[in-house]
Structure 1
Amino acid sequence: MSTTLLRHHWRLLTLLALLLALAAGIGLRAPTPPDEPRFVLAARAMVETGQWLLPHRGSELYAEKPPVFMWMQAATYKVIGHWNLAFLLPSLLAALATLWLSWDLAGRLWNRRVAWWAVLALASCLQFGLMAKRAQIDMVLVALTTLSLWALLRYLLERPDKRLLWVAGFAAGLGTVTKGVGFLPLLVLLPWALWRWKGRPHGAAALPRARALLWLIPAFVLGTAVWLGPLGIALLNDPSPELQGYARELLFKQTGTRYANAWHHVQPAWYYLQVIATLWLPGSLLLPALLPGWWRRLRRGDGRWWLLLGWSLLVLLFFSASPGKREVYIFPMLPALCVAAAPLLPGLLRRAGTRWLLLAYVLVLGVAATGIGAELLADGAWAHAQLAKRGMPDVLLPVLGGWLLGFGVLVLLLAAWLRQRRAGPLVVITALLLWNLHGWGLMPALGPYSSASALMQQVGERIGPSAKLGALAWREQNLLQADRPVTDFGFKRPWDDQWHDAGPWLAQAPHNRWLLVLEQAISPCVKRDQAVMIGSSNRNQWWLVPGTAWDPACHAALPRDAGAGVDDGD
């Protein structure tokens, strides 16, 4: 068999292993906080009610995010018919699309060998795998931003085809109504303009005329019209205060105000440096060696690096300027940086220092997993304390310990076999094993407790099949995992206002109605001796209040510092 054919077979096997690793465990777990349950709850409501335009969280409109991602989940469920599979599929498909776009872009800008390096680099980074295996908006957003950037770079560097502008503008518009920052790829026009102003370097393709870029505007508007069009029609036909308030909240507070004057997730300006150093491992270990190579190519005026690196820097500055920061915000940069790094990686891996650094990363990961796994299997006090803090039973200790120990030992054996000379393949194999550990071992074991399905099963068994259930100060996973329809009294309303409606609801049928309540939100008007502490989930204690425990004559209020539901989403 020829060397070329053998290399081709190995690449196919690696791609198949990557696909299986990213899909590992899909369908084996329920949605887990913070973001997954709220999106699935809204998507399920769309399917059940047929009302797809305005997403709901229980009885309230959910105005923190546009509904596009929830549409994807709901549409996937309509095809598949199984929520535990459908809710993760959009992220998986988006991850695969991002890998392909990175491969194709690197292949067009350089060659297929470089494209292969770009795919492996992206797939090995921790944040990419984590987002591919979680049902958050960000993986879909990154697929759309990468698609838009792919089309723009092809137009600006390869060939000025107006169809590429339509793809770029539409993807950016659709990304904007998926999660407000979908317009970010359009920022690449700034480093392109600077590069063009400095003079077209040797070997560059014919530069497109700036006037032709105006086609991006109608394409962008068309992309945003996927959601803003139906919303605008609804606003014209329905002047209700609820709908108007929903539009104001989403279009202004959750976009402009959230960026310029964030009210939560406030972090210092250097916050993203620590995100890069940790969540972009092992790629971040190579950044000190990549920077000089990138700088030399920028000085030579190579437009490929001018646009990829210039755009990435603008994204970093854009998010660093906002007081509100989360680690997922700079995730759109990662595919572009992996494409920019790919041509330099073969040279870097020929350096002994780079290989030793990557080997050290694998060894630390293997030793940590082995140590934690052994500690869990040893049934020590530390292990029990970790589970107790999360309201999880001790029966998980041998399961989690066994998976972690097995992963750690396997990684260490591979490191001993491949050693530093094959540190590149070792890193890729370790990433694939890590996502199999995540999908087949850790998440299915932790799922019943992280998703609150175990808690809600206890609730159903305690109140019996014929009882009515209400929820106060609830979390999205409570409603999602309940075994019956749940009456809620708002999510963001103050708890006292919720009790104002929940008390009479209990009193209407005191022997057949129960209320699931967060411990901190129990009203002074509840007779505690009749309430039942049903369990804990996600570090919260939950109580069941029977209708007979409510005192209708009481009018006491909760303490002033008692809160209400908050959205900790992204």
Structure 2
Amino acid sequence: VNHAGRFTGQATQLGHQSGPGYYVGVVPLYILPWLVAWLYALGDVWRRLRRREALDPGWGLLIGWGLGGLLLLTLSSTKREIYLSVLLPALALMVGAGLREPLAKSVRVALKIWLGLMLLLLLAMVLAPLGSIRSGLPVGRGLLYALLALIFLGLAWMAMRRRSMPWPQQIGLVTALAYIAALSIACPLVDRVKSYRPSFTAMAQRILSDPQAKVGAWAFDETTRAGFYYYCDLIFPAVSDTTQLQSILKGTHPRLNGVLTLSRHFPPAEISLPAWQVIEEERMGPRRRLQWISAVPRPAAAAITADGSI
């Protein structure tokens, strides 16, 4: 039921609803190192089909797996980057099959430009931790990150100096080193300033400190649901229809007296709600606000009616 609802669009409460063009911007990012070679390989297949020439063995499977699977994911109402994981092997094999053919000069130039960008990324990974030390990163950790990036950069430079190594292998090795460096160094640095953990834990502590709080979850997306479970070991009962929501805000619900929700999902459109108030709010970046909504009067909260007036 869960997967069927995601595909048909009936499980909208789970979030991640996107239009048909979602993967147009996502696929190139996932195969970015070999994007030019992949497009060149697809173009070569298209030219052969138009000339009614025979394709190499295996191309039928790769097209059905990679492009057919991409079409299926595009038709689905729910779209997420992680769903592409089952298609990435097919896309990679397409690139490998394309690289067996003589490549146009423009493709070679594009791949060498990519190689230069990866070397610049490795250099940036050396400098980024040193800059983060000034913004509060512990000195020891910053120097360790910089040393790790310097080792990766040295390995990449050694690979470039080996004349006997074919250039596709050089590109693959340098790209792998750059990506490993980014995951090992850049991601922890970004997580220090963009993690949702402080917001989840602060809201959880606020709720747990109130013995009268009996809170449900209204229109949680997967990120919010998983965040409370992962960071706080909490699962809130889902409030899935407006009748329950109205009874909570009227104070007549048998178990709950408030809801947690994201500000973009509250109040729901086209229904009339009793007066409600924001008990607590936590900002999670520029576009996400986690709110505790209740109808119980509290001195520190500003009561808000259904039309938004205070």
Partner residue in 2 for 1:314? 68
Q: 1:320 to 1:362 in 2, by over 3 A?
A: same
Q: 1:519 to 1:283 in 2, by over 3 A?
A: closer
Partner residue in 2 for 1:455? 202
Q: Which of 407, 414, 438 lines up with 2:155 in the alignment? A: 414
Partner residue in 2 for 1:429? 177
Question: How far apart are the structure 2 equivalents of 1:545 and 1:322?
Answer: 36
Partner residue in 1 for 2:112? 356
Question: How far apart are the structure 2 equivalents of 1:414 and 1:462?
Answer: 52
**Preserved CA contact (<8 Å) 1:315 1:333:** yes
Does 2:28 match 1:267? Answer: no
> 1:268: how far off?
5.4
Percent of aligned pairs sharing the same letter: 18
> 1:536: how far off?
3.5
2:27 alignment partner AA:
I
Partner residue in 2 for 1:79? none
> 1:540: how far off?
1.4
Question: How far apart are the structure 2 equivalents of 1:283 and 1:294?
Answer: 16
Q: Which of 41, 46, 50 lines up with 1:290 in the alignment? A: 41
Aligned ranges 1:30-69 → 2 under 5 Å: 65=2
Question: How far apart are the structure 2 equivalents of 1:344 and 1:519?
Answer: 46
Partner residue in 2 for 1:335? 89
> 1:397: how far off?
8.9
**Preserved CA contact (<8 Å) 1:518 1:541:** yes
Question: How far apart are the structure 1 equivalents of 2:254 and 2:148?
Answer: 54
**Preserved CA contact (<8 Å) 1:518 1:542:** yes
Q: TM-score, normalising length from structure 2? A: 0.60
Q: 1:370 to 1:448 in 2, by over 3 A?
A: same
**Preserved CA contact (<8 Å) 2:126 2:149:** yes
> 1:399: how far off?
9.8
Question: How far apart are the structure 1 equivalents of 2:213 and 2:8?
Answer: 39
> 1:446: how far off?
7.1
> 1:358: how far off?
4.0
> 1:460: how far off?
5.9
Q: 1:307 to 1:433 in 2, by over 3 A?
A: same
* Secondary structure class of the residue paired with 1:419: helix
Question: How far apart are the structure 1 equivalents of 2:92 and 2:262?
Answer: 47
**Preserved CA contact (<8 Å) 1:411 1:430:** yes
Partner residue in 2 for 1:498? 245
2:283 alignment partner AA:
S
Q: 1:478 to 1:285 in 2, by over 3 A?
A: closer
Q: Greater relative contact order (Cα 8 A, min sep 6): structure 1 or 2?
A: 1
> 1:407: how far off?
6.0
**Preserved CA contact (<8 Å) 1:469 1:486:** no
Q: 1:267 to 1:365 in 2, by over 3 A?
A: farther
Q: Which of 510, 515, 536 lines up with 2:283 in the alignment? A: 536
* Secondary structure class of the residue paired with 1:282: helix
Does 2:220 match 1:469? Answer: no
> 1:374: how far off?
5.1
Q: Which of 58, 73, 80 lines up with 1:304 in the alignment? A: 58
Question: How far apart are the structure 2 equivalents of 1:423 and 1:399?
Answer: 32
**Preserved CA contact (<8 Å) 1:506 1:547:** no
Structure 1 runs (4+) deviating above 6 angstroms are 346-349, 396-404, 482-487, 505-508
Q: 1:514 to 1:444 in 2, by over 3 A?
A: farther
> 1:284: how far off?
1.5
Which protein is richer in helix relative to its size? 1
* Secondary structure class of the residue paired with 1:300: coil
Q: 1:434 to 1:481 in 2, by over 3 A?
A: closer
> 1:272: how far off?
3.3
Q: 1:404 to 1:534 in 2, by over 3 A?
A: farther
* Secondary structure class of the residue paired with 1:360: helix
Question: How far apart are the structure 1 equivalents of 2:283 and 2:172?
Answer: 43
Deviations 1:154-188 (A, max 9, x none): xxxxxxxxxxxxxxxxxxxxxxxxx45xxxxxxxx
Q: 1:450 to 1:482 in 2, by over 3 A?
A: closer
Question: How far apart are the structure 1 equivalents of 2:64 and 2:305?
Answer: 56
Q: Which sections of structure 1, spanning at least 5 residues, go unmatched?
A: 1-62, 66-178, 181-249, 380-394, 561-570
> 1:471: how far off?
2.1
Partner residue in 1 for 2:271? none
Q: TM-score, normalising length from structure 1? A: 0.37
Question: How far apart are the structure 2 equivalents of 1:295 and 1:469?
Answer: 62
Deviations 1:499-551 (A, max 9, x none): 5225537999xxxx98564585597455x7xx5x464346314458695629x
> 1:369: how far off?
4.3
Question: How far apart are the structure 2 equivalents of 1:289 and 1:445?
Answer: 40
Query: CA RMSD for the aligned pairs?
Result: 5.1
Does 2:28 match 1:277? Answer: yes
Q: 1:491 to 1:286 in 2, by over 3 A?
A: farther
**Preserved CA contact (<8 Å) 2:18 2:78:** yes
> 1:356: how far off?
1.7
Q: 1:334 to 1:264 in 2, by over 3 A?
A: closer
